[in-house]
Amino acid sequence: MNKLASIIILLLLTISVTAQDITSLEKIGPVSSVQRFERGVVLTCADNSHVQITVLAPDLIRVRTVFNKSLPQRDHSWAIANTNWPAARWNLREDTSSILIATDEVEVVVNRSPLLIEFRDARTHAVVNGDQQPMAYDAKGLRKDSLFDPKAGMFVAAAKRLGFDEHFYGLGEKAARLDKRRGFFVNWNSDTPGYTEDKDPIYQTIPFYIGLQKNAAYGIFFDNSYKSYFDFGHSSQQRVWFGAEGGELNYYFFYGPSIKKVLTRYTDLTGRMPLPPMWALGNQQSRWGYYPDKMVEELARQYRDRDLPLDVIHLDIDYMLGYRVFTFNSERFPDPKGLTERLGRDGVKIITIVDPGIKKDDYYVFNQGLEKNFFQRRSNGELFVPKVWPGDSVFVDYTLPEARKWWGDLHKFYLDNGVAGIWNDMNEPSDFVDQTGQNQKDVVSYDEGEKTTHAKNRNVFALLMARGTYEGLERLRPDRRPYVITRAAYAGIQRYSTMWTGDTNSTWDSLALNIPMFTTLGLSGEPFVGSDVGGFMGRGNGELLVRSYQISFLAPFCRNHKEISGYDQEPWRFGTYYEDIIRKYLKLRYALLPFLYTSLEEAHRTGVPLFRPLVLNYQDDPNTYNLDDQFMIGDDLLVAPILKPDVVRRLVYLPRGNWYDYWTNKQYKGGQTIAVDAPLETVPMFVRGGAIIPTVAPMKYVGEKPFDPVTFSIYLDPNGTASTALYEDDGLSPAYKEGKFRRTRVDVRRGVRGFVIDVRASEGSYNPGDRKFNFLIPSYEHVSKVITASGDGRAHQVELK
Ligand code: GLC
């Protein structure tokens, strides 16, 4: 190696070290004065930096810091759903060295010099999270050269002490394992087809994580849409840090100590998923290249002829005329309304893809948007013209409220044609000219009149596009629940859209990412997730497809999808042996609908996802902290899929309690790892002792038949008790928001002889009519009893002997 080369390498090394070294940044000055306001304090620092600490709730504290200047009046974030918090009790104590803000649950201790913030449990005074160094900013521009847009802002960062045994979860969509400890991540929404493990960033930005140590969980939401970084002890064993290439150092601290409570608060702040139509839980089939209409009808027919349940077919970009959004290609789809009607009669709904790129061409969407001046422009006023599927295109400036409204209203076109849901793709936004964003650098967005940069707005583009879509659908069809699917996102996306994990590979490695990714998304506020079943790119096989369905049949979004040049992978493409197994799991999904829908409603109401890592239900059990090849649905169903070829046996960890093998009803004691058989026909599944699983007979599509009878399978805990609370509503309209639902609580206990089942008087005003309830205890050789449950929701008591 010559001298020059080694100097260059050394230089590169130094630069990359600097990029991750935040110790060299300027530290915030010591506190020089404290000003109290209604909900907290503003600290003025020696360097004229300002820190606003706000008590939003007893377990939710906001820290908002600006460096070298006063707090600006403007305080806006697209992620936040709730700014109106009821007053929470707190008090302030000051002494010469520190400032203490105490709520009923959290103590915030601010050391004055140097300025260090610590969060403690108000009851035990134990430190939950504390600064490792004062908040920092790049006053000297040390990192300028590594920023996406040095003109857009200054690098800001916070550093926290890394606990010796601290685990990290969340951060949204990452191609990574469940526990993020020791990982380093970047958030910059990017189109990354064929991504593999550790590819980072990918499509979404959810700058929220959960820390867990000594059974105490907290959350940190760094609400900053600039390119951001999270280091969970990757570059130093001392610290966790997060930072961004501009904006304020603005974060929210949530205190549990349970992960579930953190998630509920996080979704109080950023919003919850509204319930999608129940058929969104149905089986979905997609393929880039399904055209013309005859092929779509043939596909639906195949599904019905083969007795495979199906609710949705997706139309990818080829339905359009030259990729012009809000058009149909009239040769391929001469009568879209007729098509959706015919399919609809057999329970099949159509979802169309809608990309952000509008063809720059003389057609109504482009012309209207241009006339109204709704398109993104460069700083010199020129129209910004990225290249996407249609070639030269334009993007809407979704930060403009009128533009969002216009975009939403355009969807009348689809609704009039009977389209049932909208799939938003390429919304990072992807630009074939350059995927890093360089070509978009000088695009200016309206941003509430502030006229800000791509550096600030890139990561929220998809959030605002989905918002426009969702609000449009809601306006156009107020008696129906909108159903939107997105690829890119920012925190808060759950208010408007469900999501899928983009362009995966048809490989075992890609499949192994399903569980950590779905569970991680659930721990980041996004419960309605799924991945292309079978993988999107490359060539799969029957075994891979079956194993893929054995995960996705319980994922909220269950859609087989494939790229245009890939190999066919509809359920029957590898022969009847595989097809028969897939049928079994799809039917099981439909049988489990009452259970899945009940779990989905819990996610809607509490923010606690249905597709869970075990740590969410057993956070006091360290055996679960790294466990990401098993998952749970709700509290009750534990699933341990096979993630490698030719494997027919695996280890399964069962947490405390007692468990029942779903297939054999064999009982196991929890707190142990067992080896179980998993031939291709069987995915290991266990039901928690104490659970009751409500099921119905499988259907061709959701809503084909009413839930009648409902079978309650009872799995007793060691005390002989079990319970559930079945949730139901009309599955389609937003009336559930006004109390039109039914929650039926069922409790089982041991009686003098046999068991006593209490069906409690139901909650909510939805009346599904009289129907049969069938109670059985699978482990007692199917002891069962059928009753007629009254439509008015009266209580019933049943004896089971
Ligand atoms: C993107 C999407 C993929 C879709 C394709 C064509 O790659 O992620 O799902 O099939 O675009 O629209």
Give pLDDT tens digits for 557-573: 999 999 999 999 999 99
CA distance 601 to 595: 10
User: Is pLDDT above 80 for 20?
Assistant: no
Indicate the average pLDDT of the chain: 96
Alpha carbons within 13 angstroms on the beta-carbon side of residue 619 total 24
pLDDT-derived band of residue 11, with 50, 70 and 90 as boundaries?
low
**What pLDDT is attached to residue 783?**
83
Q: Which of 397, 425, 636, 661 is catalytic?
A: 425
* pLDDT value of position 19: 55
Residues 714-757 have pLDDT tens digits of 999 999 999 999 999 999 999 999 999 999 999 999 999 899 99
- CA 503 to ligand 1 center in whole angstroms: 7
Per-residue confidence (pLDDT) for residue 665, from 0 to 100: 97
Q: How far is CA 18 from CA 10, 12, 510, 723, in A?
A: 12, 10, 33, 56
Burial class (CB in 10 A: 0-12, 13-18, 19+), 745: middle
Read out DSSP for 141-195? -TTGGGSS-TTT---EEEEEEPPTT-EEEE-SS-SS-S--TT-EEEE-----TT-
More confident residue, 397 or 18: 397
Pocket test for ligand 1, best of 173, 285, 316 (most atoms within 8 A of CB): 316
Average pLDDT for residues 627-634, to the nearest whole number?
98
User: For residue 21, what pLDDT is reported?
Assistant: 83
Give 482 Cα–ligand 1 centroid separation in angstroms.
21
pLDDT at site 17:
41
* Residue 503 a catalytic site member: yes
Q: Is 428 a catalytic residue?
A: yes
- Would you say 468 and 402 are in contact if contact means Cβ atoms under 8 Å apart? no
Q: How confident is the model at residue 14 (pLDDT cuts 50, 70, 90)?
A: very low
Question: Per-residue confidence at 782, pLDDT binned at 50, 70, 90?
Answer: confident
Beta strands in 403-554 (DSSP E): 421-424, 443-445, 452-453, 484-486, 489-490, 498-499, 532-533
Assess whether pLDDT exceeds 70 at residue 168. yes
The lowest-confidence range among 39-53, 188-202, 615-629, 774-788 is 774-788
Ligand 1 center to 563 CA (angstroms) = 7
Cα–Cα distances (Å) from 3 to 7, 9, 10, 14, in that order, read 6, 10, 11, 16
Residue 47 among the catalytic residues: no
Overall average pLDDT of the 593-606 stretch: 98
Q: Is the predicted pLDDT of residue 459 greater than 60, yes or no? A: yes
Among 523, 520, 552, 522, residue whose Cα is nearest residue 536: 552
Binding-site residues, ligand 1, Cβ < 6 A: 193, 288, 316-317, 353, 425, 487, 502-503, 561
Q: How far apart are CA 351 and CA 355, in angstroms?
A: 13
Candidates 538, 545, 547, 535; CA nearest to 567 is: 538
In this predicted structure, the answer to whether residue 12 has a pLDDT above a threshold of 60 is: no
Taking only the tens place, the pLDDT of each residue in 258-313 is 999 999 999 999 999 999 999 999 999 999 999 999 999 999 999 999 999 999 99
Which pLDDT score, from 0 to 100, does residue 6 have?
A: 58
CB 316 within 8 A of CB 291: no
Residue 674 confidence class, pLDDT cut points 50, 70, 90:
very high
Establish whether the linkage from the previous residue to 114 is cis, with ω within 30° of 0: yes
Predicted confidence at residue 111, as pLDDT, reads 98
> Residue 15's pLDDT is what?
45
**How far away, in angstroms, is 287 Cα from ligand 1 center?**
9
How much is the average pLDDT of 2-22? 57
